[in-house]
Chain A
């Protein structure tokens, strides 16, 4: 029976975990520290909705290479230009052009003409343009910062109300915190910009992380049957199913949709969930096991 092969592997993993869990916790810890370092060396840039600027999304296959486009357009307008390609499965490739300046109604027609000249393409119903003044960007940023702060406070309070014990609540919050730090670091590393929608994705991530922690803690702490490690592993089984369903949805959104906003939300969530695996099932679980065994010994 093929079942035996899986079961044996599962049991081996469980035994290994039982003896080595403290050492395994080093991995998430190193990841967290690496996260801080990466944040410092690869700072995350802000997107136009948080700092102003202009973005054009054009459905076209550019005849020139990106660097040429950047230089020619930059020379024509006198502003730094960044160009990249956004593509999705079996659909229109989009050329994305980003500028650090905002263009109002009287300036946009000229900008559009310049882009048409450089690309050799007429811009009619095949493009989107978004332009925001730095003032509204700063306004959105201030609002977002306050929202994140309020969200953290609310979530922290709820976590305390749910789990009640400081040690456990602390472990859950540490996992959420690590998730955010490490995902933010990856965003900087991969060049994903911070925007209102990526901030929303990060907040959703906290919710997701706490969900898996609720699962873990409910199984491990509130039940009494079996060994701690058995309960942890039964929770892992459920957790992996949850992850698989969430990841399928995320992959579907990322590969099928061609809107920048949706793709970025999917990407950030993917990074966050991947990171959450280690933070929940090794770090958080390890801390719980440690705490429970400590209580056992002190009895």
Chain B
């Protein structure tokens, strides 16, 4: 180790293109982070809520076309909006390696019954009279106060009813089904009742007014009840939602249901960030113990910190989800970066580069870059296949690590080498 205390020409170092670019990136990232707090999307792990993963309920081996799943997504989105839950993230996720399609829905704190109602009901509406099918969907569902109401029943419970319209053809079928019915008093006979079904389950059984016999009727009323007023209201709202948004093209089943407490999630985030900060300090300590020269330790640690800032900035810019695994990915990427920088530093320290300045320099640089690319490519080749697996968790880790490694190779490492050249 040479004892020549080389004076570091800071100005010259900063003006070097690679170093300048690096500093530019860090500053830019800093500005992005500070000015765009909304860019940080919190993943479920941290924000909390209920996550439901839905799959088509079909036999093994049956493949549901993607278009059907897109339609499911649209119907569900409509249902959520109708019900009053706006902006529920729902995404189609596929395990590319096994070709199954799933829908991942992230609800904020909601009760499970609502979740079940909104996602599991297929919503096939049908009606029959005297064993003949007359209606198979609704054209309009009425939710206004005139045509939908809740009232008490004699038995102490509550009932609701709301109007629905059906199309012309359905109306004609109604006419055909009722024209031969006998009239008893004000209504049609016992067997000519209008039975409404949803998903095959009987909804209501209505007697038909004698006036409607043989007529084209395009409206009906759906009835139901509940033990309390709230329950009746909830049931009515649920039915109105399901009927108005239409039936799902395929039956669905829940394959995963996760509930994360926001409070716990917040705690996890804090601890993870603390762990990252302590890691950085620990690394600084180790590096100092090994090299003991500030002119090595300072650039090494500073580039590591800067790299972290750049990665976080990028995550913010592209709206990447902050999750626990993403944080782990950042720590992994920066850790790999620090290791590579240690290798480079040692390469540059070794030997009598004072004498071999010209030839040895070039060879050393070439070797340093070779090491960078080699190390980076092994990490990336491990992470890229992983990015296609699973429905979010590990994806975050894989993508963040890959991103971090790329930032390191393209931005940080070249700058670091240039800095070290001038400092050693």
Contact = CB atoms under 8 A, between A and B. Distances in A.
Contacts of B285: 248
Interface in A134-175: 135-136, 139-140, 142-144, 146-148, 150-151, 154-155, 158-159, 162
Contacts of A106: 112-113, 116
B378 interface: yes
A124 B111 CA distance: 12
Nearest to B282: A248
Interface string B324-340: 11011001100110111
Contacts of B370: 218
A14 interface: no
Contacts of B306: none
B129 to A, nearest CB: 33
Interface stretch (A74-82, A203-211, A279-287): A203-211
Contacts of B97: 142-143, 146-147
Interface stretch (A16-24, A28-36, A65-73, A250-258): A250-258
Nearest to B51: A130
Nearest to A159: B378
Contact of B394 (A200, A215, A242): A200
Contact of B264 (A102, A125, A142, A222): A125
A122 interface: no
Contact of A249 (B102, B282, B351): B282
B336 A207 contact: yes
A159 B115 CA distance: 49
Interface in A82-111: 88, 91-92, 102-106, 108-109
A46 to B, nearest CB: 14
A246 interface: yes
Contacts of B256: 102, 130-133, 136
Contacts of B52: 105
B268 A259 contact: yes
B378 A211 contact: yes
Given A140-B390, A207-B382, A256-B274, A245 B377 contact: no
Interface residues of A, number: 76
Interface stretch (B71-79, B131-139, B181-189, B342-350): B342-350
Nearest to A106: B116
B261 A128 contact: yes
Contact of B386 (A88, A139, A147): A147
A182 B53 CA distance: 35
Interface in A38-83: 49, 57, 59
Contacts of A155: 378, 381-382
A4 interface: no
Contacts of B305: none
Interface residues of B, number: 82
Contacts of A288: none
B259 A128 contact: yes
B381 A158 contact: yes
Contact of A211 (B339, B367, B384): B339
Nearest to A147: B385
A200 B398 contact: yes
A113 B286 CA distance: 50
A250 to B, nearest CB: 8
A258 B386 contact: no
Which applies to chain A's interface (DSSP): helix, strand, loop or mixed? helix
Interface in B382-424: 382-386, 388-391, 393-394, 397-398, 401
B386 A203 contact: yes
B286 A241 contact: yes
Given A105-B52, A144-B389, A258-B268, A128 B286 contact: no
A232 interface: no
Given A92-B267, A155-B382, A252 B275 contact: yes
A185 interface: no
Interface in B344-366: 346-347, 350-351
Interface string B244-275: 00000000011111111111100110011011
A194 interface: no
A93 B268 CA distance: 13
A238 interface: yes
Given A109-B112, A211-B375, A246-B335, A126 B264 contact: yes
A290 interface: no
B38 interface: no
Contact of B257 (A127, A131, A211): A131
B398 A210 contact: no
Contacts of A244: 286, 290
A150 B340 CA distance: 25
B98 interface: yes
A13 interface: no
Contact of A154 (B257, B340, B385): B385
A151 B385 contact: yes
Contacts of A229: none
Interface string A253-295: 1001111011001000000000000000000000000000000
27 contacts: A88-B271, A92-B267, A108-B259, A128-B258, A130-B256, A133-B256, A147-B385, A151-B382, A155-B378, A158-B378, A162-B374, A200-B398, A204-B401, A211-B339, A211-B340, A215-B343, A234-B350, A237-B346, A245-B335, A246-B335, A249-B331, A252-B279, A257-B275, A258-B267, A262-B324, A262-B327, A265-B328
Given A126-B263, A197-B328, A207-B378, 9 more contacts: A92-B267, A109-B112, A125-B261, A131-B258, A146-B389, A207-B382, A208-B339, A249-B331, A252-B276
Interface of B: 45, 52-53, 55, 95-98, 100, 102, 112-113, 115-116, 120, 253-264, 267-268, 271-272, 274-276, 278-279, 282-283, 285-287, 290, 324-325, 327-328, 331-332, 335-336, 338-340, 342-343, 346-347, 350-351, 367, 370-371, 374-375, 377-379, 381-386, 388-391, 393-394, 397-398, 401
Identify the 10 closest CB pairs spanning chains A and B, nearest first: A248-B282, A154-B381, A249-B279, A147-B385, A105-B116, A207-B379, A256-B275, A143-B389, A133-B255, A203-B382
